[in-house]
Amino acid sequence: MAATVSPSRREPLVSQPHLRTVVVLAAGEGKRMKSALPKVLHPLLGRTLLGHVLSAAAPLEADRTVVVVGHGADQVRAHLAEIAPDAIPVLQAEQLGTGHAVRIALEAVPDATGTVVVINGDVPLLRPETVSALVHAHEQAGAAATVLAAEVPDPTGLGRIVRAADGRLEQIVEERDATPAQRAIREINAGSYAFDVVRLRDALGKLSTDNDQGEEYLTDVFGLLNSAGEPVAVHVAPDHVETLGCNDRVELAALRRLLRDRINEGWMRTGVSLLDPETTWIDVTVALDRDAVVDQNTQLRGATVVGSGAVVGPDVTLVDTVVGEGATVLRSHAVGAEVGPGASVGPYAYLRPAARLAGKAKVGTFVEVKNSEVGPGAKVPHLSYVGDATIGAKANIGAATIFVNYDGVNKSRTVVGEGAFIGCDTSLIAPVEVGAGAYVAAGSAITQDVPPGALGVTRAPQRAIEGWVARKRPGTVSAEAAERALRAAEGASSGAAAASEGEAIHGDDHALGGESRGGDTATD
Ligand code: UD1
Ligand code: MG
């Protein structure tokens, strides 16, 4: 199916007139997260905070990307190796401030020329378009430094943009160093910047630690350059929501809701129906085709793709799962699965990795499928476990069939041929093969191959031990019911032979017991 390009995979919006270096600051601990996981590694709808920031910078096609690591450096490095193997991790052993962090980062790229873009690692809602516009404005203006700013309702804790009477940037003042008048300013530093590398290096060498935190502030670069007569600029973000940082888990949850709304709106505008956007959580990495329908309380995660006309939900979680055109998935959980076009899943199915359902296949209620192919039009409607199996086209697997794939040491495969019919409550004990068009009688434990067109049956002959209940369970509800039934039958066939005495065994000498009543062997 042709997956629609997700909103996060847009084309680069700016040309590349300059060489660029991106620096992401990710050494801080994020104390208020109260977590063993470094703050920048917390997940948010398909990417970590750091992953979101890197992807916002991706359209710049930077020559090099440097990530300053510190707290949890090993974990952050390992994550970078996965998501951005070309990025250069640089260790800031002690967090001596954002200015110090950038100074260390630039030591790793001594030959950098052109523009250096610095982004705080904790602003995951920043959009690629905004970063591109910041850099574009900076380069067009030939500024020495440009800061991304935003007007916010509550500026508490953030650096304030201090402008001169003519509107030009004078300096950036941290809240704890600000005068009461400066604290009243609601235009804040959003934590993303563009710099001319030569002038940035020069200013970083002049930073002092003469402030409330005793740190080297990157933000002081603006005041220094301004005093030296260098042009410094402010670029205002179109929406302050993009610039929201994340300091604790309450803020993280708020960011998640904001990102959810942005993603959901994007999909609805491309022609996807979301029946309840507030309870629909779609990772940025997911792709949905036009006219897909997502019903309420549904999570679509990772590399999930949903085809045109498919209906997913309510109450569905899909992780790395591909759903074909016109398929339905209802109240189910799937990880690493494929659901073919027109196939039907659930309610209450569990598809595990490498469960592959062909077109129009059906996996129904309380069915678990793992590492198996369910052929075109094949049905596994109820209460079954299908593990390590290949099920042919249009085969019918009766209720409570178990594919016994594990002997405690090894896993083995079961093959069920095209058009085969497996009776209810059957164990197919792998490795075993049921041939094309073969039947298996309900209640069988199949350990040997069943040839094509044959009936496989392992049932013991049925016995009826007459009068057993009256003798062994006298006075019970069953005994009373049996007595009434037997009396009624006697009355009806007066003169008929009396019930036999003792423990006579009426063995059913019909070895296949019930095989002639094929309709009893499976459910549909
Ligand atoms: C910073 C800005 C503030 C701005 C705010 C926006 C400074 C001095 N202040 O404040 O003006 O409004 O961001 O969110 O820059 N980091 C390091 N090494 C360090 C210190 C920080 O890598 O030594 C990283 C952190 O991991 C974080 C980023 O830099 O990703 C920003 O640091 P943080 O401590 O959050 O700065 P704020 O106080 O938020
Ligand atoms: Mg911060």
Measured in Å, residue 45 CA sits from the centre of ligand 1 at: 23
- Token output for 404: 């016994």
Is the link from the previous residue into 461 a cis peptide, with omega within 30 of 0?
no
Pairing outcome for strands 43-44 and 47-48: antiparallel
Closest CA to 237 of 169, 188, 170: 188
Nearest Cα residue to atom 39 of ligand 1: 158
Q: How many residues does the chain have?
A: 524
Residue 449: what pLDDT? 98
Residue 29: what pLDDT? 84
Residue 522: what pLDDT? 53
Residue 493: what pLDDT? 83
Rounded CA gap, 199 and 108, in Å? 17
Ligand 1, CB cutoff 6 Å, lining residues: 25-28, 68, 70, 92, 95-98, 100-101, 120-122, 158-159, 172, 174, 188-189, 191, 217-219, 245
Residue 90: what pLDDT? 98
Nearest atom (ligand 1) to Cα of 121: 30
Measured in Å, residue 192 CA sits from the centre of ligand 1 at: 10
With residue 18 as reference, give the H or E element that holds it: none
Closest CA to 155 of 129, 135, 178: 178
Residue 494: what pLDDT? 76
| pTM confidence score | 0.89
For the chain, which residues score pLDDT lower than 50?
Answer: 1-16, 496, 498-521
Is the link from the previous residue into 347 a cis peptide, with omega within 30 of 0?
yes
Distances (CA, A) of 48 to 8, 190, 398: 14, 19, 44
Measured in Å, residue 15 CA sits from the centre of ligand 1 at: 29
Measured in Å, residue 338 CA sits from the centre of ligand 1 at: 43
Residue 12: what pLDDT? 46
Ligand that lies nearest to the alpha carbon of residue 240, given by its number in the listed order: 1
Nearest atom (ligand 1) to Cα of 101: 18
Is the link from the previous residue into 89 a cis peptide, with omega within 30 of 0?
no
* Cβ neighbours for 118, distance < 8 A, ≥ 6 positions apart: 22, 23, 24, 25, 102, 192, 193, 194, 195, 218
In a mutational test of the pocket of ligand 1, which residue from 68, 120, 204 has the highest number of ligand atoms less than 8 Å from its CB?
Answer: 120
Ligand that lies nearest to the alpha carbon of residue 219, given by its number in the listed order: 1
Q: How many CB atoms lie within 10 A of CB 241?
A: 17
Nearest atom (ligand 1) to Cα of 189: 12
Residue 244: what pLDDT? 94
Rounded to the nearest angstrom, the gap between the alpha carbon of residue 293 and the centroid of all alpha carbons in its chain is 18
Q: Strand, helix or coil at 146?
A: strand
Rounded to the nearest 5°, which phi and psi values hold at 158? -105, 160
With residue 319 as reference, give the H or E element that holds it: strand 316-319
* Cβ neighbours for 6, distance < 8 A, ≥ 6 positions apart: 266, 284, 285, 286, 287, 288
Active-site residues: which are they? 382
Residue 53: what pLDDT? 98
The 273-274 sheet, strands edge to edge: 273-274, 293-294, 311-312, 328-329, 344-345, 362-365, 379-382, 396-397, 421-422, 439-440, 455-456
- Token output for 2: 């042709």
Nearest atom (ligand 1) to Cα of 220: 8
Residue 18: what pLDDT? 65
In a mutational test of the pocket of ligand 1, which residue from 95, 96, 98 has the highest number of ligand atoms less than 8 Å from its CB?
Answer: 98
Residue 162: what pLDDT? 98
- Token output for 64: 């090099």
Nearest Cα residue to atom 26 of ligand 1: 28
Measured in Å, residue 98 CA sits from the centre of ligand 1 at: 6
Residue 17: what pLDDT? 53
Q: How many CB atoms lie within 10 A of CB 166?
A: 6
Measured in Å, residue 158 CA sits from the centre of ligand 1 at: 9
Residue 263: what pLDDT? 98
Closest CA to 326 of 353, 291, 350, 356: 291
pLDDT tens digit sequence for 127-137? 999 999 999 99
Nearest atom (ligand 1) to Cα of 96: 23
Closest CA to 134 of 146, 124, 143: 146
Rounded CA gap, 400 and 384, in Å? 5
Q: Are 470 and 480 in contact (CB under 8 A)?
A: no
